[in-house]
Amino acid sequence: MKVTSPNIIGDANYIPTAKVLDYQEFIKFVEKVRLRETKVKEKPAILII
């Protein structure tokens, strides 16, 4: 993105000085939810993480 035209950067709302976000905690949460996804149809459904 650093060598891209300013018009494209502006249209993409890219902020070149912004810090890259760390999604590791979010990824861990999604993995936990996926593990429980198969249990949703069980009765009673245990959805506590």
DSSP string for residues in 1-48: -TTS-HHHHHHTT--TTSPPP--HHHHHHHHHHHHHHTTTTSSS----
User: Does residue 20 or residue 48 have the better pLDDT?
Assistant: 20
> Domain residues of the chain, as ranges?
1-49
24-46 average pLDDT score: 82
Confirm if 47 and 40 have CB atoms less than 8 A apart: yes
Of 12-16, 20-24, 26-30, the range with the lowest mean pLDDT is 12-16
User: Does residue 42 or residue 13 have the better pLDDT?
Assistant: 13
- Residue matched to tokens 């996926």: 34
Could you tell me the pTM of the whole model?
Answer: 0.45
Residue 13: pLDDT above 90? no
DSSP classification of residue 49? -
pLDDT at 15: 80
